[in-house]
Structure formats: structure tokens, C-alpha cells
Structure 1
Amino acid sequence: MMSSYGLRGKVAVVTGGTRGIGLAVARALAGAGALVCVTARDADAVRRTAEELGGIGLAGDVAGPGHPRELAELVLGSFGRIDVLVNNAATNQPYGPLMEADPAVWRAAFAVNVEAPLRLVQSVWRAWMAEHGGVVVNICTEGAGHVGPNVGAYGTSKAALLHLTRQLAGELAPKVRVNSVSPGLVRTELARFVWEPGEEQLAAGLPLARIGEPEDVARAVLWLASDAAGWITGADLVVDGGTRVRAAYSPAGPAAPGPGGPPSAGYAVHERLWSRTPHA
């Protein structure tokens, strides 16, 4: 099935591509015939993943000052082209009330979640896409559409990334299509402490009756990266098992706290999802 997406001979870059959603995306793109470059901070994981996929990798911090240019030069020098960029790497810190947020950590969140994707797009645009075209897919979150305790920095930065997606879609058209995918709760190691203790309850609260798998998100990214989505740009594809409608159709769904009342159990579970640091 993957080969039907027409990516054979194309070259894709996936940030945070050695685990979780990023790894699933890298595998899906490679399975569809693309040559893949992964980047992440763990050099050993980058090497193993590159070997598995028959591609290449670059270890480093996506927010590092020289990383975007180094990455573009490596990919162009190795494969001669850059057709797809998937901005997946992210951080959720600072975690806590915004009134207590450390300014340096707040700026670091935006450096990783907003500035790094922009700088990576600039690099691949200058290196290849301005002349030859291409596709950018940004990984956001369904949580960017609502507020929650302690996740203000993460949600705000991802909301900025959603707007950046639309802005770039307008500026880079018609050469480059720019879209985003916003996942809900997905079965990753990062989120294991959320889904493992109460998976049945969580699944029962979703219209599609299961939590997500990394491959669910990867298939959405693959579709957007392919010619099958050739007339789509500036869009956000929500892949959440119906999270945004569960409050209306399931008593287990999350609801914001009522006036003077505590958060519901579902809302508290949603908060716990972001209580660790996912900087790939």
C-alpha cells in the first residue's frame, strides 16, 4: 500500500526521527520509496535508525544555530535533492503555571517548537525547494485548540506553529505545500505513564474506542507528503480518534472545570499527558 503514494526517488527529512511518531513517520516514508534522513540528539539512535532505513542521519539539536544549514547541506550532498521536510521534534517545557515560567525556558520552548521549524524550512527552501518545489509537514497537537493547567507554554508554542504553517503555506505557494498534523493521545514510550495504567478507560472515552498508534499519525503525514494530497496546503489534519468530540458523546470525555469546580477526571488525564519532557 505504501508504494502507491509515489515517493520513490524522493528525499525526505524527519526531525526527531528516532522514536515514537517521528520514527513511525520515517519508516512510512521509507516504505513508500523515499530516501530518508533522520535527525535527533542521540547519536547512537540516529545511526541505528539510518541503518535500518537505508538512509542517512545527523545527530544534533534542531534549535542549534548551525543545525538547519548543516542538515540541508548533508542531505543535498548525499542525495542531490530535498523533497519532503517533516518537523516533528518538540519540547513541552516549561511545565507549570505561566506566572511561574522561567523566561529562559519559555524562550527555549519557542526556539524548538517554532523557530527551529521555520529555520529548517528556510534552509531547505534555499537549498532546493524554491526552485524545485516540495512538501513540509509540521507535527502539532490537538491540544493547541484549547487550554489546560500547566501546559500554557507548550500549547501557545504549538498554536504559533499552526499559524506558522498557514503563513508559510501562503508565502511558499505554489512551489511548496505546507500542512500540519495534530495528533491526540498516541501509544508512545513518552506517553506510557498516561495510557498504560488506564488504557481501557481512555479508549472507552474516545468515539473510535482506542488510543492512537504512531502509525496512525505516520499514515496521515505520508498522505500529506504524497501527490495524493496535491491540492492541499495550509491545512491541519487532526488525528485524535475523536478526542475533540468525545465530551459531547461520552461521559468519560474531558471537560473544562466548571465555575468554582475541579477539573473532570478526563481533563486531569489530558493534563498528565504533558507532564514529562518530549524533546526528540
Structure 2
Amino acid sequence: MTAQERELTGRVALVTGASRGIGYGIAEALVARGDRVVITGRNEDALKEAVERLGPGRAIGVPGKAHDEAHQAVAVERAMEAFGRVDYLVNNAGTNPVFGPIADLDLSIARKVFETNVISALGFAQQTWKAWQKDNGGAIVNIASVAGLGSSRFVGAYGISKAAMINLTLQLAHELAPGVRVNAIAPALVKTQFAAVLYEGREQEAVASYPLGRLGVPEDIGGAAAFLLSDAAGWVTGQTLVVDGGLFLNMGV
């Protein structure tokens, strides 16, 4: 049975930054189990292609920049207009425009990282809460990173923003309970275009740090998100699930 043939669950998810990579992997996993999805992304053409792959009637795309408050409102409005509900929110949209020590970091870039990686997640959570979840319940998954669990070479601003995302998860989990569960996923290195600079041309070197012998793929995160956005995780909230191929086993963590 294909994803398009699978019986609908009646549940609807909004997944940000989902035209490719981890976001698309999550949207694909949710559609495969019968959910419908609203996906966002900056590139309208890429978004249209993603919607076609996910399947007509199962997905719609709303182009825009994650940190734009008007876009956040429109995305939730489109979900309500098209499907009448927003049970799940996945805050996946993120950016990392710079590599290097934070001692030399342009503060305008730091602000951009936080606006996209953290403030946008709060904005989307506020919008879905007001539109549906406050009265009907639901679940949120924030995509953090192992970079938020310790210091990170060359991606310090990104790591700091993901640490903030983990704390945002705790705050939302506390405030939105009992109706809405909020959890985070902290992936290690996943093979996506976003992370290509970290492994292209040196994948075997990168893999050597992982006890499971490979880097992650978007489907790994899709499966974890699908679990957290399910009744099977009905007693799980405020947690950060590390999905790292065993990386931390080699770090004494």
C-alpha cells in the first residue's frame, strides 16, 4: 500500500522547513501513516515538488520565511482552511549561515540564527496553540541538535540556538500541559544538503565517530518524530530524544 492509498488518520501536521532534508523526511513519515501535512519552505519551486511527491490531497505547501510572523499566521490559517485542524507542529526550519569562532561572530548573523532557529519556533507554537491546540490538544516536536548539548567547533551560534530550542521545549511542555505534549529531537550528523559541508569529501572520516557505522538519514529522524507525534508517546513530554547513531558513546556522555 502506498502512502497515497493508506487510510487517513484524520490528524494534520504542520512541518516547517520541509521541502527537503529532515523536514521532508518527517513529513513523509507522517503521510505514510495516514496523516495530512502542511509544509513550509523558502523556495516555492522546491516546495511544490515536495508536495507532489507527498501526494495530492495529502499535503499542501505554504512558501515563506520561518521568522516572518505574517508567514507563520498564514501557514496556520492555510492548514485550518484546507484541513480544519492542526494536531501536530514540527519546528524544523533552521539556518546556520556561518562557520567559525563566536568571538569573531557578526552579531547581526547571531540575531538571524536566533530569529530563524528559536523565535520562529515560538511563533509557530503560539499560532497553532491559538488556532487549534488550546481547545483540542495535540503535540509539538522541536528539532534541536546534539550541538545544543555541548560546545561545538565552528558552529557555536547554531549550537547556542539549539540549546535554547531545548529549553524552549521545556517551557512549552510545562505551560501547554496537559492538553499539548512538547518534545524535542537532537540529531547528530544527518546526510542532508544543509549539513553537506560537514561530511562531503570526508564521509568515512566522519563515520568513524559513530558506533553504528553510518551517518544519519532523514528517515531516521522521521521515525523518531512519528513516534513522538503519536498516542504511543502519550505519556512523554518535556523530553529531548537524542538520535545520534551512538556518537555520545564515544564522548563519555
Q: TM-score, normalised by structure 1?
A: 0.83
Q: 1:223-238 to 2 correspondence within 5 Å?
A: 223-238=227-242
Which residue matches 1:112?
116
Q: Residue 33 of structure 1 aligns with which residue?
A: 34
1:143 deviates by 1.3
- 2:51 is matched with 50
Contact 1:7 1:226 in 2 (8 A): no
Question: Matched residues, percent identical?
Answer: 44
Contact conserved, 2:147 with 2:158, CA < 8 A, in 1? no
Alpha-carbon offset, residue 151 of structure 1: 1.9
CA contact (8 A) 2:40 2:47 kept: yes
Match of 2:250 among 234, 246, 249: 246
Q: Tell whether 2:17 aligns with 1:16.
A: yes
1:136 to 130, 133, 140: 140
Q: What's the offset of the Cα at 1:69?
A: 0.9
Aligned structure 1 segments of 4 or more residues deviating by more than 4 angstroms = none
The one-letter amino acid paired with 1:22 is G
Which residues of 2 match residues 189-228 of structure 1 at below 5 A? 189-228=193-232
- Measured at CA, do residues 2 and 238 of structure 1 come closer, stay the same or move farther in structure 2, by a change above 3 Å? farther
AA aligned opposite 1:172: L
Encode CA deviations 1:196-220: one digit per residue, 9 max, x unaligned: 4233333233111111111011100
1:175 matched to 2:147? The reply is no
In structure 2, the gaps of 5 or more residues are: none
The answer to whether the 8 Å contact 1:25/1:222 transfers is: yes
Verify the 8 A CA contact 1:93 1:153 in the aligned structure 2: no
Q: Aligned partners of 1:201, 1:131: CA distance in 2, in Å? A: 50
| Rg (Cα) greater in structure | 1
**Which TM-score applies when normalising by structure 2?**
0.92
| Number of residues of Structure 1 aligned to a counterpart in Structure 2 | 247
Offset at 1:248? 4.8
Equivalent residues of 1:188, 1:213 under 8 A apart: yes
Question: Which residue of structure 1 lines up, in the alignment, with residue 95 of structure 2?
Answer: 91
Supply the RMSD in Å over aligned alpha carbons: 2.0
Structure 1 residue runs of 5 or longer lacking an equivalent are 250-280
Greater shift, 195-204 or 86-95, is seen at 195-204
What's the secondary structure of 1:162's corresponding residue?
A: helix
Return the alpha-carbon distance in structure 2 between the equivalents of residues 48 and 30 of structure 1: 15
Q: Matched residues in 2 for 1:194 and 1:156: separation?
A: 18
Shift of 1:7: 7.3
Deviation at 1:191, TM superposition (A): 2.8
User: 1: distance between equivalents of 2:244 and 2:223?
Assistant: 13
**Match in the other structure for 1:255:** none
What CA distance in whole angstroms lies between the structure 2 residues aligned with 1:104 and 1:120? 23
Deviates more, 1:188-197 or 1:136-145: 188-197
Whether the 8 Å CA contact 1:2–1:28 is kept in 2: the answer is no
